[in-house]
Structure 1
Amino acid sequence: MSYLFSLVKKLFQTVIKTKAFLVLFLLSLVSAIAISACTNEPKVSTPPTTTANSATVESKDGSKSETPKDSKMAGHNSKVKININEAILSSLDKIEAELGIAGLSNKIQAARPYAKVEDLVSKKVINAEQFEKIKDMVSVETIVLTGEAKDVDYLTKLGLMKGHMIVAKELLDLQKPDQAFPHIEHPVEEIYADVEAQLKERNVKEFKQPLIDLQQLVKSKPTDPSVTTKYQEAMASIDTAIAAVPIAQRQSPKLALQVINAILDTAGTEYTAAIANDKIKEIVEYQDSRGFTLYVEQLYKSIAPAMEKEHPGTHKQFTASLEKLKSAYPSPLAPEKPVLSVADMSALIKANEQAAAKVYAKT
């Protein structure tokens, strides 16, 4: 009897354990299903924030895409491609300098429009071998700038105008109107159209006419006393356009250094284009480079106090570098041989950009 009772007891305990196991199993199954449901729940992603300092690339088919255009993309190591349909001569000069072909910028401009970059070859502007060297530099896509990048572009173009005008005045003072004329011509013929739309956006009065008046007077009566007055009016008009960007922004080291490096990059390109076989062959390009560098010196002075206080190391490097760059231009009249090699010029500009990058990082 006791044996039977013991057997029944064991059977009952087994049943209890089995039920507990089933309960635990069911609980585990429910938990697994719940976890799986949470894991597979659609995720809501946060859209990327587009910084103010950006560029919209518009393709031929009308599609648009946003790309950052920060300090790392501007200047000497620029990843922003040159639009061969729209770029001004100073930008096209980068292609000319890369290939070492005198007059190529004008040739590219004359063969417009281009449906695709390969048209440079089909239109016999350059050959296939030359195209391979510059194909990563060029594009037919329109870049629409926004925010800070737009301000940098605007101030850079106006700065190039100022550089042309500075060297033109030096040449007029030296009684060299024939040499001065191309630099008076470039702002109105080459650059003005590239800033005209922004002038309207920024409520800046149109100033093409003062530039034309000066151009025509220097061409017809270069020794007329009124040339000085017309020159001053033209320069004042450019300064008014520059003032459309608030002074607090213009004197911000971050913004100003981007403009400075962009202009110096163009100065370096012009200097490279001026030299062939260790001689200065292209006088206008040499003078362009001088004018741009002299304007950069003026521009840097506007941020020098802030740079010395906030970024003393970079300030010291920039001031020393600008002195070395200026040594490349002993006079508005080009020397027979370059004082500074192209390699040295390029190294100084690149060092400035690297130093400026530290300022951007701290800002």
Structure 2
Amino acid sequence: MNEKRKVWLAVGAALVGSSTLQADELKVTAHEHHSMSIIAPFEGGGEGEGEGSGAVDLRINDSAYLAQLGLIRGHLYVGKKLYDQGHLAMAKTHMKHPEDELYTALVPAFQARNVAGFEAELTALANAVNDEQGDAAVNNAYDGLVAAITAAEQIPQKSVKSVLMSLSTMLLTAAAEYDIGVKQGTVVNVHEFQDAYGFTQMAKARINELTATQRAGNTAAIEEVNEILAKLPELWPTITPSGEVEGDSGPLYGAAARIELATLN
């Protein structure tokens, strides 16, 4: 999938604010995003130019910022999982470089938020995998990168609403990826199928990063979102599929919509 489209999908749900939005509407919106002109999300902060385009400022929009970091996490997570399973060629395709558009869009946000980026850590992991430096090097590089991303996220300093909305955005993006990866029950694009898996797993994991203080003031919403995530069906019987799979993107779109509604109650 074109990385600029991923950038748009990563921030697009941050613009969605209607309490009447349903899963079908989310699905239409996601497909419309594929044809939009992309305005770099850190440029300006108002309306973008081009048909249907807009801009979200990652320097100040916490939900979009966290979603963008979540997509990077998802790429790396599935890449590491593929590596651990011995699928080296596939793993290499998911390893992000600092020049990648997903990371590049975050650089001004890191500067504005006074947090360190993770360019060196991304490079170290990409080199460890691509140069086949061995398990110890890959594991060390991955652990260091995850720690650096966690430091950049600053989850304890974010509002619970921003964190939960980032999960909605990540699932919306995962649904759009699943639509690209699976057509009429047949896997036609393994890479996008894998991306959808990584984004979903990272959305599920992120809610566990909320602190006790954050949870204490938002118990009902967090419990509702936990239940939504727990009820997601298993859409990935394997991350290296061929042929037919059972499942479609509908549950992902539905979960994204329900999580958004949970943040508005």
TM-score (norm 2): 0.74
- How many angstroms does 1:297 deviate by? 1.1
Distance in 2, matches of 1:195 and 1:323, equals 30
Which one of the candidate residues 174, 178, 185 is aligned to 1:267? 174
Distance in 2, matches of 1:187 and 1:347, equals 33
C-alpha contact 2:187 2:241 (8 A) present in aligned 1? yes
Larger relative CO (CA 8 A, sep 6+): 1 or 2?
Answer: 2
Q: Which residue of 1 aligns with 2:253?
A: 346
Deviations 1:157-214 (A, max 9, x none): 1111111111111111101111111221267513110100111122222421221222
C-alpha contact 1:293 1:326 (8 A) present in aligned 2? no
Distance in 2, matches of 1:307 and 1:240, equals 20
Number of residues of Structure 1 aligned to a counterpart in Structure 2: 237
Which one of the candidate residues 80, 89, 105 is aligned to 1:169? 80
- How many angstroms does 1:344 deviate by? 3.6
Distance in 2, matches of 1:303 and 1:199, equals 21
Q: Which residue of 2 aligns with 1:84?
A: 38
- Larger fraction in strand: 1
> Kindly tell me: are residues 257 and 192 of structure 1, through their superposed partners in 2, closer, same or farther at Cα, counting changes over 3 Å?
same
Deviations 1:9-49 (A, max 9, x none): xxxxxxxxxxxxxxxxxxxxxxxxxxxxxxxxxxxxxxxxx
Q: Which residue of 1 aligns with 2:152?
A: 241
- How many angstroms does 1:332 deviate by? 2.6
Structure 1 residues 1-363: aligned runs within 5 Å? 69=15, 71-72=17-18, 76=26, 82-86=36-40, 117=50, 138-139=52-53, 142-144=55-57, 147=60, 150-185=61-96, 189-221=100-132, 223-243=134-154, 247-249=156-158, 252-303=159-210, 310-312=218-220, 314-325=221-232, 327-334=234-241, 336-358=243-265
TM-score (norm 1): 0.56
> Kindly tell me: are residues 218 and 310 of structure 1, through their superposed partners in 2, closer, same or farther at Cα, counting changes over 3 Å?
closer
> Kindly tell me: are residues 303 and 227 of structure 1, through their superposed partners in 2, closer, same or farther at Cα, counting changes over 3 Å?
closer
Distance in 2, matches of 1:354 and 1:338, equals 30
Amino acid at match of 2:137: S
Could you tell me which runs of 5 or more consecutive residues in structure 1 were left unpaired when the two chains were aligned.
Answer: 1-67, 88-114, 118-134, 359-363
Residue 225 of structure 1 aligns to a residue whose secondary structure is helix
RMSD: 3.4
Alignment identity in percent? 23
Q: Which has the larger radius of gyration?
A: 1
> Kindly tell me: are residues 142 and 259 of structure 1, through their superposed partners in 2, closer, same or farther at Cα, counting changes over 3 Å?
closer
- How many angstroms does 1:318 deviate by? 2.7
